[in-house]
Amino acid sequence: MKGRDGVFFMHEIVYFASPGLAESARLCLELSGVEWKNTVVDWDGYSELKASGILPYGYLPIIKTPSGVIAESNALLRYTGALAGLEPDDLHVRAKVDELVDVINGWRDHFMPTFGIEDLDEKIAARQALFVEGGSMDVALKLISSVYAESKTGWLANTASMSIADVKAFVDTFMLFSGQFDGVTKDLLDQYPLLLQFHDWMANDERVKAYFAKTDDMRWVFKPEAFNTI
Protein backbone atom coordinates (compact mmCIF):
# COMPACT_ATOMS: atom_id res chain seq x y z
CA MET A 1 0.00 0.00 0.00
CA LYS A 2 1.60 3.24 -1.07
CA GLY A 3 0.76 6.71 0.17
CA ARG A 4 0.74 9.92 -1.86
CA ASP A 5 4.50 10.30 -1.67
CA GLY A 6 5.18 6.65 -2.30
CA VAL A 7 5.61 6.01 1.43
CA PHE A 8 4.70 2.51 2.52
CA PHE A 9 2.00 2.43 5.18
CA MET A 10 1.41 -0.74 7.10
CA HIS A 11 -2.11 0.22 8.11
CA GLU A 12 -4.43 2.90 6.87
CA ILE A 13 -7.80 3.88 8.28
CA VAL A 14 -10.16 5.57 5.87
CA TYR A 15 -13.08 7.51 7.29
CA PHE A 16 -14.66 10.94 7.60
CA ALA A 17 -12.99 13.61 9.77
CA SER A 18 -15.31 13.00 12.72
CA PRO A 19 -14.51 10.48 15.47
CA GLY A 20 -17.69 8.59 14.52
CA LEU A 21 -17.20 4.89 13.92
CA ALA A 22 -13.43 5.03 13.43
CA GLU A 23 -12.04 6.67 16.53
CA SER A 24 -11.77 3.55 18.65
CA ALA A 25 -9.65 1.87 15.96
CA ARG A 26 -7.59 5.02 15.49
CA LEU A 27 -6.89 5.08 19.21
CA CYS A 28 -5.96 1.38 19.25
CA LEU A 29 -3.56 1.87 16.35
CA GLU A 30 -1.96 4.73 18.18
CA LEU A 31 -1.61 2.57 21.31
CA SER A 32 -0.23 -0.31 19.25
CA GLY A 33 2.81 1.59 18.10
CA VAL A 34 2.48 0.25 14.55
CA GLU A 35 2.94 2.67 11.71
CA TRP A 36 -0.45 3.86 10.52
CA LYS A 37 -2.05 6.46 8.36
CA ASN A 38 -5.24 8.35 8.99
CA THR A 39 -6.92 9.04 5.67
CA VAL A 40 -9.80 11.50 5.95
CA VAL A 41 -12.38 11.73 3.18
CA ASP A 42 -15.37 13.95 2.55
CA TRP A 43 -18.62 12.82 0.90
CA ASP A 44 -17.14 13.13 -2.59
CA GLY A 45 -14.17 11.05 -1.53
CA TYR A 46 -16.53 8.50 -0.04
CA SER A 47 -18.54 8.34 -3.28
CA GLU A 48 -15.37 7.76 -5.27
CA LEU A 49 -14.29 4.96 -2.96
CA LYS A 50 -17.72 3.40 -3.20
CA ALA A 51 -17.64 3.54 -6.98
CA SER A 52 -14.15 2.02 -6.99
CA GLY A 53 -15.49 -1.12 -5.34
CA ILE A 54 -12.90 -1.10 -2.55
CA LEU A 55 -15.53 -0.90 0.24
CA PRO A 56 -16.59 -4.47 1.04
CA TYR A 57 -20.11 -3.45 2.13
CA GLY A 58 -20.27 0.05 0.69
CA TYR A 59 -19.60 1.85 3.98
CA LEU A 60 -16.83 3.52 5.90
CA PRO A 61 -14.75 3.08 7.98
CA ILE A 62 -12.35 0.58 6.50
CA ILE A 63 -8.82 -0.31 7.39
CA LYS A 64 -6.30 -1.26 4.73
CA THR A 65 -3.92 -3.84 6.17
CA PRO A 66 -0.95 -5.51 4.56
CA SER A 67 -3.24 -8.54 4.04
CA GLY A 68 -6.23 -6.69 2.64
CA VAL A 69 -9.16 -4.46 3.51
CA ILE A 70 -11.37 -4.93 6.59
CA ALA A 71 -14.74 -3.23 7.07
CA GLU A 72 -17.18 -2.91 10.00
CA SER A 73 -16.14 -0.68 12.88
CA ASN A 74 -16.16 -3.42 15.50
CA ALA A 75 -14.04 -5.69 13.33
CA LEU A 76 -11.62 -2.77 13.07
CA LEU A 77 -11.73 -2.36 16.83
CA ARG A 78 -10.97 -6.03 17.45
CA TYR A 79 -8.21 -6.14 14.87
CA THR A 80 -6.47 -2.96 15.98
CA GLY A 81 -7.13 -3.84 19.63
CA ALA A 82 -5.30 -7.14 19.08
CA LEU A 83 -2.39 -5.22 17.55
CA ALA A 84 -2.33 -3.05 20.66
CA GLY A 85 -2.50 -5.98 23.08
CA LEU A 86 -5.98 -4.98 24.25
CA GLU A 87 -7.58 -8.38 23.57
CA PRO A 88 -7.34 -10.64 26.64
CA ASP A 89 -5.79 -14.08 26.07
CA ASP A 90 -8.24 -15.90 28.34
CA LEU A 91 -11.25 -16.81 26.21
CA HIS A 92 -13.79 -16.22 28.95
CA VAL A 93 -12.37 -12.83 29.79
CA ARG A 94 -12.24 -12.00 26.10
CA ALA A 95 -15.88 -12.98 25.71
CA LYS A 96 -16.85 -10.77 28.65
CA VAL A 97 -14.97 -7.93 26.99
CA ASP A 98 -16.77 -8.64 23.70
CA GLU A 99 -20.07 -8.69 25.57
CA LEU A 100 -19.47 -5.12 26.65
CA VAL A 101 -18.37 -4.06 23.19
CA ASP A 102 -21.59 -5.46 21.74
CA VAL A 103 -23.81 -4.00 24.44
CA ILE A 104 -22.32 -0.57 23.90
CA ASN A 105 -22.68 -0.96 20.16
CA GLY A 106 -26.38 -1.57 20.72
CA TRP A 107 -26.78 2.01 21.94
CA ARG A 108 -26.92 3.03 18.29
CA ASP A 109 -30.35 1.43 18.07
CA HIS A 110 -31.69 3.87 20.65
CA PHE A 111 -30.47 6.86 18.67
CA MET A 112 -31.22 5.68 15.16
CA PRO A 113 -34.92 6.66 15.10
CA THR A 114 -34.05 10.21 16.19
CA PHE A 115 -31.87 10.83 13.14
CA GLY A 116 -34.91 10.72 10.90
CA ILE A 117 -36.81 13.41 12.83
CA GLU A 118 -36.80 16.57 10.74
CA ASP A 119 -38.24 19.06 13.22
CA LEU A 120 -35.38 20.19 15.45
CA ASP A 121 -37.47 20.68 18.60
CA GLU A 122 -39.02 17.28 18.14
CA LYS A 123 -35.60 15.72 17.60
CA ILE A 124 -34.23 17.37 20.73
CA ALA A 125 -37.23 16.22 22.78
CA ALA A 126 -36.87 12.65 21.49
CA ARG A 127 -33.18 12.59 22.42
CA GLN A 128 -33.73 14.12 25.83
CA ALA A 129 -36.38 11.49 26.53
CA LEU A 130 -33.67 8.84 26.13
CA PHE A 131 -31.90 10.25 29.18
CA VAL A 132 -34.77 10.81 31.60
CA GLU A 133 -35.06 8.33 34.45
CA GLY A 134 -35.96 4.99 32.86
CA GLY A 135 -35.26 6.16 29.29
CA SER A 136 -33.31 3.68 27.18
CA MET A 137 -29.99 5.55 27.35
CA ASP A 138 -30.45 6.25 31.05
CA VAL A 139 -30.92 2.54 31.64
CA ALA A 140 -27.94 1.74 29.39
CA LEU A 141 -25.61 4.20 31.09
CA LYS A 142 -26.67 3.01 34.54
CA LEU A 143 -25.99 -0.57 33.50
CA ILE A 144 -22.50 0.31 32.35
CA SER A 145 -22.01 2.27 35.56
CA SER A 146 -22.94 -0.79 37.58
CA VAL A 147 -20.45 -2.89 35.60
CA TYR A 148 -17.80 -0.28 36.33
CA ALA A 149 -18.73 -0.26 40.01
CA GLU A 150 -17.73 -3.94 40.16
CA SER A 151 -14.28 -3.33 38.70
CA LYS A 152 -11.42 -3.74 41.11
CA THR A 153 -8.79 -2.75 38.57
CA GLY A 154 -10.20 0.48 37.17
CA TRP A 155 -10.72 -1.13 33.76
CA LEU A 156 -14.33 -1.63 32.72
CA ALA A 157 -14.22 -5.42 32.30
CA ASN A 158 -12.11 -5.80 35.44
CA THR A 159 -9.16 -6.84 33.31
CA ALA A 160 -5.61 -6.49 34.56
CA SER A 161 -4.89 -3.86 31.91
CA MET A 162 -6.82 -1.87 29.33
CA SER A 163 -9.05 -3.85 26.95
CA ILE A 164 -11.06 -2.97 23.87
CA ALA A 165 -14.10 -2.66 26.17
CA ASP A 166 -12.45 0.37 27.74
CA VAL A 167 -11.71 1.89 24.36
CA LYS A 168 -15.24 1.26 23.09
CA ALA A 169 -16.86 2.58 26.27
CA PHE A 170 -14.64 5.65 26.39
CA VAL A 171 -15.11 6.63 22.76
CA ASP A 172 -18.79 5.78 22.36
CA THR A 173 -19.95 7.19 25.68
CA PHE A 174 -18.25 10.55 25.64
CA MET A 175 -18.65 11.19 21.94
CA LEU A 176 -22.39 11.33 22.63
CA PHE A 177 -21.87 14.44 24.73
CA SER A 178 -19.66 16.39 22.32
CA GLY A 179 -22.49 18.65 21.22
CA GLN A 180 -22.75 17.11 17.77
CA PHE A 181 -26.04 15.44 18.68
CA ASP A 182 -28.73 18.06 19.14
CA GLY A 183 -30.41 17.62 22.51
CA VAL A 184 -27.60 15.64 24.14
CA THR A 185 -25.87 18.12 26.40
CA LYS A 186 -22.86 17.46 28.57
CA ASP A 187 -24.68 18.31 31.81
CA LEU A 188 -26.65 15.07 31.35
CA LEU A 189 -23.47 13.27 32.37
CA ASP A 190 -23.81 14.60 35.91
CA GLN A 191 -26.36 11.83 36.46
CA TYR A 192 -23.63 9.24 35.99
CA PRO A 193 -20.78 9.98 38.43
CA LEU A 194 -19.15 6.60 37.86
CA LEU A 195 -18.91 7.33 34.16
CA LEU A 196 -17.20 10.60 34.97
CA GLN A 197 -14.80 8.62 37.13
CA PHE A 198 -14.18 6.27 34.20
CA HIS A 199 -13.57 9.28 31.98
CA ASP A 200 -10.99 10.54 34.42
CA TRP A 201 -9.28 7.14 34.46
CA MET A 202 -9.13 6.76 30.68
CA ALA A 203 -8.44 10.35 29.69
CA ASN A 204 -5.50 10.47 32.10
CA ASP A 205 -3.96 7.24 30.90
CA GLU A 206 -0.63 8.55 29.58
CA ARG A 207 -1.01 6.88 26.17
CA VAL A 208 -4.59 8.04 25.69
CA LYS A 209 -3.75 11.51 26.90
CA ALA A 210 -0.80 11.79 24.52
CA TYR A 211 -2.96 10.84 21.54
CA PHE A 212 -5.82 13.22 22.23
CA ALA A 213 -3.48 16.05 23.17
CA LYS A 214 -2.49 16.28 19.52
CA THR A 215 -6.02 16.02 18.09
CA ASP A 216 -8.46 18.75 17.12
CA ASP A 217 -11.28 20.51 19.00
CA MET A 218 -13.85 18.02 17.70
CA ARG A 219 -12.26 15.58 20.15
CA TRP A 220 -12.44 17.77 23.26
CA VAL A 221 -14.58 15.18 25.07
CA PHE A 222 -11.64 12.79 25.24
CA LYS A 223 -9.30 15.20 26.98
CA PRO A 224 -8.74 15.04 30.76
CA GLU A 225 -10.36 18.36 31.58
CA ALA A 226 -13.41 17.83 29.32
CA PHE A 227 -16.05 17.43 32.00
CA ASN A 228 -14.19 18.91 34.97
CA THR A 229 -14.07 15.53 36.53
CA ILE A 230 -12.93 14.77 40.07
| Footprint of ligand GSH (CB under 6 A) | 20-21, 59-61, 72-73
Q: Which residues lie across from 37 on neighbouring strands?
A: 12
CA-to-CA distance for 32 and 211, rounded, in angstroms?
12
Name the residue nearer to ligand GSH (CB basis): 9 or 46.
Answer: 46
> CB of residue 132 vs ligand GSH: minimum separation in angstroms?
27
Nearer to ligand GSH, 47 or 161 (CB): 47
Helices (H) and strands (E) in the chain, counts: 10, 4
138 vs 152: CA distance, rounded Å: 24
b vs e for 166-179, b when ≥16 Cβ sit within 10 Å of the residue's Cβ? bbbbbbbbbbbbbe
Q: How far is the CB of 149 from ligand GSH (least distance, A)?
A: 28
Closer of 72 and 138 to ligand GSH (Cβ): 72
Cβ proximity to ligand GSH: between 7 and 40 the closer is: 40
CB-based burial label for 158 (10 Å; 0-12, 13-18, 19+) = middle
CB of 11 to ligand GSH, least distance (A): 16
Q: How far is the CB of 129 from ligand GSH (least distance, A)?
A: 24
| CA 15/CA 124 separation, integer angstroms | 27
What is the smallest separation between the CB atom of 179 and ligand GSH, expressed in angstroms? Answer: 18
Q: Between 80 and 159, whose beta carbon lies closer to ligand GSH? A: 80
CA dihedral 162, 165, 171, 176 (to 10 degrees): -140
**Other Cβ atoms closer than 10 A to 74:** 18
Q: How far is the CB of 15 from ligand GSH (least distance, A)?
A: 8
Nearer to ligand GSH, 174 or 192 (CB): 174
